Structure 1
Amino acid sequence: MIISEAEFEAITHGRHAAPHELLGMHQLEGGGVVVRALLPLAKGVVAVPVHEPSKPVIALRRVGESDLFEGMLEEENEIYAYDLAITWGDGEQWRTRDAFSFLPTISNDDLYLFNQGDERRIYEKLGAHPRCIDGVDGTSFAVWAPNAQRVSVVGDFNGWDGRHHPMRMLGQSGVWELFAPGCGVGSHYKFQILTGDGDLQEKTDPFGLFFEIAPKTASIVWDNSRFAWTDADWIRRREEAEPRSQPMSIYEMHLGSWRKKAEGESFSYRELAPRLVDYLRKMGFTHVEFLPVAEHAYYPSWGYQVTGFYAPSSRYGTPEDFQFLINTLHEAGIGVFIDWVPAHFPKDDWALTRFDGTPLFEHPDPERGEHPDWGTAVFNYGRPEVKNFIAANARFWCDVFHVDGLRVDAVASMLYLDYSRKKGEWTPNIHGGNQNLEAVELLRHTNHVVHSEFPGVVTMAEESTAWPGVTRDTNAGGLGFTLKWDMGWMHDTLKFLQKKTARRPAQQGKFTFASQYHHQEKYLLPLSHDEVVHEKRSLIGRMPGTDAEPFANMRLLFGYQWLFPGKQLLFMGGEIGQRTEWNEDGEVPWEILEENAAHAGLQQWVADLNHLYRDEPALWEGDYSEGGFYWVDNADHAANVASFVRQTPDCSRQALVLLNLGNASHAGYRIGLPRAGWWREALNSDSEHYGGANLGNHGGVHSEETPWHSQPWSAEFNLPPLSCSVFLCE
């Protein structure tokens, strides 16, 4: 044995941080070469030349009673490629290239950028990646664990034995790396980590691309480059368009509970594709938004406790199946958003938490590293490698899966140091404030990366406070989001419509309050999954009245949401008036469409709203322009009537929206008009097609030269109770 006793002890007892320095073939200082291999359960091993048959075969001998084999040849001074011909204890024979004969698969430049927090394609370097090196098929593994004593990759290709594939740390980067010959797509693996405290733990891959179905937790080697995309035309159109001035009507859904294949069995990504396309086309939605698809072991978390940030959930198929679903939607002209969760992660001991035995991904200070509401860990946003992990993850979904947007969850919890914390439970920032400056920088950086590299991709902030500049450009000091969820509009509107009609006149100012601030940000109006869970009741379950009134209120609600400035989002089941709260173990109760015509009428109302919305630029082109919206009148609280105009920025297209918020009809109700002509009644929520009483305006009204409501013309309208009507000038 020509290594020191200390090196021998470290390599044979699994504590050597640089096994490649001892294992493999090395030149000796005095001439000759030595080959070492650590092979538990082997009986004999020979190094056999691969490319140069004239090179010598080197027999290795066991060192003492250890699992280390060593062979020397003084006559050979050059390193050459070789196989290990192994005879195992049971007599079985293998021949394989030596994992310790390959150079690192990650460059120093990649490592430098990662440690600086700006290797944007780090998901192509860390994790597990099948590749062919020197004619040898295998998988390169790399993982960040700077405080570990030793890291091994274990899997079904080495008997889950950490002695077979110990990894090397690359310089001072904290990254451990190894190329494993013979390991390919479909292999199951984990990282076995010996912590600084001497604890041995097995962890899933933070950059894993595919996982076993829970409750199993192994990562699976995968190649995301194999799918043949056919959505180039969609991507080109997306890149050429400005999303804020395009129609955007979003159907939010949970993949596992939209429709069931059988009781307790969800459709796969591929099975969902044609069904979802047919439904979204029928309903007229422009986009679909999936609740978090990233791998999550705990199904009842709805995806908000992510355990695999770089992998779509295996519950519904492979990553390639998810690519197929998105590609199919794009080919049908439907955009795809996903819910993205960078605010926190669960404390499962096999996942990210204390990954190398120390707080690595999470902040080490409990005041900043634990979320008081959810019992989860909070990322250390200021650590460069963690910042890189998160920002690159946003890029990953846009790059590898062609998603058109990210709805960023729980932004407020990221922005504030005192979020859900009492006095004494948080420490101010360096300026004495409650802003989490590191999270602010992360969000700005992530938005910059996404928008600069993927033109047309949308980022949406679920941000519930008055933080300034959420949708302002980063170069102007903003956070850089495309859109912000208008939680105020949602709360005010639902609170108003839950009131009995007799109490509404006194509260009408709250119903219209969103118009006083809608120009401050680029808003999206959400009626999301959060509003139909946790005993809040379903949307229709909140509506007052009996028989037809709840449905009339629902049509009024959706009409206001679709026609008020801003994009809109509706959670599945709302469009048919689902009476029960959402249950992730069930499915949307589609049977109610056959049981009660009012449910089908509501569904038709949403479909017709969508089709009118998409066809009429006045309803979306000027969402965020100063003149894209104005009230005709919102002061007639006694009659409980409000009216407004939507128009394109050049005023070439105009739509008049009339809302009767009370249960009394109004005949001959005069409303001001911005131009003369025939105003066609394009939609009336009281139509019998939607379950209404069919009161209306016989197709439209002619303007009269009677100034009213500060408008040069006007007309008398019939306003059905609890109704929303839309008129277009022709």
Structure 2
Amino acid sequence: MTADWFHPGAAAALVAGAHGDPFAVLGPHRAGGRVVVRVFQPGAEQVWALTPDPVPLDPCGQGLFAGVLPGDGPYRLRARAGDTEWDWDDPFRFGPVLGEMDEYLLAEGTHARIWQVLGAHLMTHEGVEGVHFAVWAPNADRVSVVGDFNIWDGRRHPMRKRGATGVWEIFVPGLPEGTAYKYEIRGPGGQLLPLKADPVGFGSEHAPKNASVVRGIRGAWSDAGWMDGRAARQTVDAPISVYEVHLGSWKRAPGDRMLSYTELADQLVSYAAEMGFTHIELLPVSEFPFDGSWGYQPVGLFAPTVRHGTPEEFRAFVDAAHRQGLGVLLDWVPGHFPTDPHGLGRFDGTALYEHEDPREGFHQDWNTLIYNYGRTEVQNFLVSNALYWLEEYHIDGLRVDAVASMLYRDYSRKDGEWLPNKDGGRENYEAIAMLQRMNVVAYGQSPGVMTVAEESTAFPGVSRPVNWGGLGFGFKWNMGWMNDTLSYMQRDPVYRKYHHHQMTFGLHYAWSENYILPISHDEVVHGKGSMLEKMPGQGDEKFANLRAYYGFMWGHPGKKLLFMGCEFAQGREWAYRQSLDWHLLDHPQHAGMQRLVRDLNTLYRGTPALHVNDCRPEGFQWLEANDAEGSTYAWLRKGGPEDAQVAVAVNMTPVERQLRIGLPAPGHWAEALNTDAAIYAGGNRGNLGGVQAEAIPHQGQPWSALVVLPPLAAVFLKQSQI
């Protein structure tokens, strides 16, 4: 009987789950003027085709059934096993979903929005509701989608291969949102791989489970005002002050539960807005299996982590931030991916996303795999992912992690452990091309966004346009400034005079890139201690040092970034498993620090001189850079010709000083901010009422004033009239 309906080899392959083209056998097919339907339903004793009248199909053994349909019309299937009956739509009667243009662009590796065609999509196809699955696995012998809906049996829903694209697809009727699924893949030679999560899946199960979950991306936007005006808020001229946040530990709900996106949309967004920040930057939210990676080992690049809710709820979080005037930046990780068996590693049985050679494809520092940026489809996967977050979630920018590790083939490697480029050098041309393309696409397709590079070397042109030979980022983290200034601040003030120019060196290169000054999560983990712990001295002196440092930072050219908890002087270093120590705000010193950061943000945002020329030399002039003995610094910040100028003076010793400061204009200069003020829990010493410029030339300026510099303090003097 089997031979009448099935070729014996095809039947054996279907039963074994080894058939590479199941749609050529299963489902309806014309043969000799008849419509023959073939079905594989393991465990069924009888099967009927409902046309709508039941047409019994011949049992062919081992779950195979076949028969003749009365016509070409649609049909459903019914099966019986014992006393149990079930009906379903035959997935093998549906035609392809992907169109010719999708096929062409996927094969070429130029599909800008692969998430619209790959992954799992709720849809109505040929009049029936269900889910369309599509995945790229070009070297696989067979790919199936599996889940509870087919008892995780890869023989039941093998997929259709779409020619040269390397993409496999299937429409499974009747599946609802929330369905958990993976891909079962037989690699070259027939080896069965560990079940794989969907590289373009939009949802995931809660860890430690790791199946993908069918999720729709929906939700109305009410942020048109923000989006229309976003571009002006994210240029080099704009005040940009970023609050970096790890969502799992910013604050916990009762019972030590992580806050949901909905709760964060209320609590975190309101707090960041009240603190005067312009942006919230999230540590990676792309789905990741291990909490201890903080998100930096992502598996689901297209899935907002389910730890806090659904894609729809994450969109609502972004929308809430925009309604309160805050931008949202995401930490994006295209530099590496983990070796978890359900992830991208040897996805179709070959080194598909990574390099085969570990000298190119393995990160020794992090035990992770490196993307093969030279493979067109892999580059397209990453660039499309960047665009996905910008378009589907209205994300305002991407901070790209570990750029230095991508730029150099010998990054953290010894001789013999890396392969040079085609010219014999260490630069990774393919990674450079991917980053350039990402920036061109991001800025070109999502006007008004910003991209930021975490790049720790002196690689030229990181924040210069691609058509000028740069990488095309909007901004770059100033890691050198951070390292130098923190090294200085950790010294006892008595020794600071010997390291005076650690605080001035950043101005030698301040205009070479569009810099952000970062005090990030990396500075308060792995035994480095909190910002407060880094400061020398005891008690009040620690707080005074930190206040002076923040004053120095906010007065210094460059956009600002501060990790959560640093704004109120968290006492211990950051621990990702627990909430920040919000109870510390009951103490005046911590509450004062929080108020200082809020006021620094307010002053920075409201004073053009402090931000308009953050990235241009005409916005800065030293007044006193060489007073190593007194450990004082003074400089001017300038905006446009109509903007009031600001003089900033800093005393990094515990001794009050009177310093004559040169001023460019006569008249009254108000003390706009003093980090030693009583409202910040300081000693309340300074220049009450401001200072009056005298006609005494000093420091190259025609006017000057005698300014009181409290111990360990920064003072901002603002021109009253221009």
Aligned to 2:68: 72
SS of the residue 2:165 aligns to: coil
- Within 5 Å, which residues of 2 pair with 1:301-700? 301-594=293-586, 596-650=587-641, 652-667=643-658, 669-700=659-690
- Residue 34 of structure 2 aligns with which residue? 32
Q: How far does the alpha carbon of each residue in 1:449-474 deviate from its partner, in whole angstroms, 9 at most, with x for none?
A: 11111111111100000000000001
Aligned residue in 2 for 1:8: 11
CA contact (8 A) 1:115 1:384 kept: no
Distance 1:492 1:240 in 2: 31
The alignment's TM-score, normalised by the length of structure 2, stands at 0.97
Aligned 8 A contact 1:151 1:191 in 2:
yes
Deviation at 1:134, TM superposition (A): 2.2
- Structure 1: which 5+ residue stretches go unaligned? 51-55
Show the counterpart of 1:189. Answer: 181
Shift in Å, 1:651: 5.6
SS of 1:599 mapped into structure 2:
helix
Alpha carbon RMSD of aligned pairs, Å?
1.5
Which residue in the other structure is 2:712 paired with? 722
Q: What is the rounded CA distance, in whole Å, between the counterparts of 1:59 and 1:90 in structure 2?
A: 16
Measured after TM superposition, the shift of residue 131 of structure 1 is 0.1
> Is the Cα contact below 8 Å between 1:26 and 1:79 reproduced in 2?
no
Distance in 1 (CA, whole Å) between partners of 2:234 and 2:143 is: 47
Any idea what SS the aligned residue of 1:209 has? Answer: coil
In structure 2, how many angstroms separate the alpha carbons of the residues matched to 1:92 and 1:234? 56
Quote the offset at 1:701 in angstroms: 0.8
Amino acid at match of 1:709: Q
Q: Secondary structure at the match of 2:106?
A: helix
Question: What secondary structure is seen at the aligned counterpart in 2 of 1:88?
Answer: strand
Give the Å deviation of 1:181.
0.3
The answer to whether the Cα contact below 8 Å between 1:508 and 1:637 also exists between their aligned partners in 2 is yes
- Report the counterpart of residue 49 of structure 1 in structure 2: 51
Please name the residue that 1:53 is paired with: none
Letter in 2 for 1:611: T
> Aligned equivalents of 2:688 and 2:19: distance in 1?
85
Which ranges in structure 2 are unaligned for 5 or more consecutive residues? none
Partners of 2:403 and 2:115 in 1: how far apart? 24
Letter in 1 for 2:697: P
Could you tell me how far 1:637 is from its partner in structure 2? 1.8
CA distance in 2, matches of 1:333, 1:307: 31
Shift of 1:479: 0.3
SS in 1 for 2:431: helix
Q: CA deviation at 1:614?
A: 1.1
Give a deviation string over 1:27-77, Cα, whole Å, max 9, x none. Answer: 11x322211111111222222336xxxxx86432122x222211136xx6x
Cα distance in 2 for residues equivalent to 1:661 and 1:354: 55
Partner Cα distance (2:214, 2:83) in 1: 29
Partner SS for 1:245: coil
State the shift of 1:580 in Å.
0.8
* AA matched with 2:698: W
Q: For 1:111 and 1:726, how far apart are their aligned partners in 2?
A: 61
Q: Which moved more, 1:264-273 or 1:416-425?
A: 264-273
The answer to whether the aligner puts 1:285 opposite 2:277 as a matched pair is yes
Shift, 1:241, TM fit: 4.8
Deviation, 1:591, is 1.2
> Partners in 2 of 1:658 and 1:641 — Cα distance?
7
Query: Which amino acid in structure 1 is aligned with residue 482 of structure 2?
Result: M
Q: Secondary structure at the match of 1:321?
A: helix
State whether residues 241 and 561 of structure 2, in contact with CA within 8 Å, keep that contact through their aligned partners in structure 1: yes
Q: Which of residues 107, 110, 123 in structure 2 aligns to 1:118?
A: 110
Pick one of 38, 59, 62 that aligns with 2:59: 62
Q: How many angstroms does 1:107 deviate by?
A: 1.8
1:580-611 CA-to-partner distances (Å, cap 9, x unmatched) read: 111011111111121x3111111111111011
The separation in 1 between residues aligned to 2:631 and 2:691, in whole angstroms, is 21
Whether 1:131 aligns to 2:123 is: yes
Cα distance in 2 for residues equivalent to 1:563 and 1:507: 20
SS at match of 1:466: coil
Deviations 1:399-432 (A, max 9, x none): 1111111110000000100001000111110011
The percent of aligned pairs where both chains have the same amino acid is 47
Bigger mean CA offset, 470-479 vs 320-329: 320-329
Partner SS state of residue 181, structure 2: strand
Cα offset, 1:116, TM superposition: 2.3
| Structure 1 residue runs of 4 or more that deviate by more than 6 Å after TM superposition | none
| Structure 1 residues 338 and 239, CA gap change in structure 2 (3 angstroms) | same
Q: How many angstroms does 1:727 deviate by?
A: 1.1
Aligned counterpart for 2:216 among listed residues 204, 220, 223 = 223
> Shift in Å at residue 653 of structure 1?
2.9
Distance in 1 between the 2:413 and 2:189 partners? 32
Partner SS for 1:33: strand
Quote how far apart the aligned CAs of 1:172 are: 2.1
Query: 139, 158, 162: which is aligned to 2:150?
Result: 158
- Mapped partners of 1:560, 1:702: distance in 2: 23
Note if contact 1:632-1:672 (Cα within 8 Å) is conserved in structure 2: yes
| 1:239/1:454 contact within 8 Å kept | no
TM value normalised by structure 1: 0.96
| Whole-Å separation in 2 of the counterparts to 1:239 and 1:687 | 36
Q: Tell me by how many angstroms 1:505 deviates.
A: 1.5
Larger deviation, residues 392-401 vs 242-251: 242-251
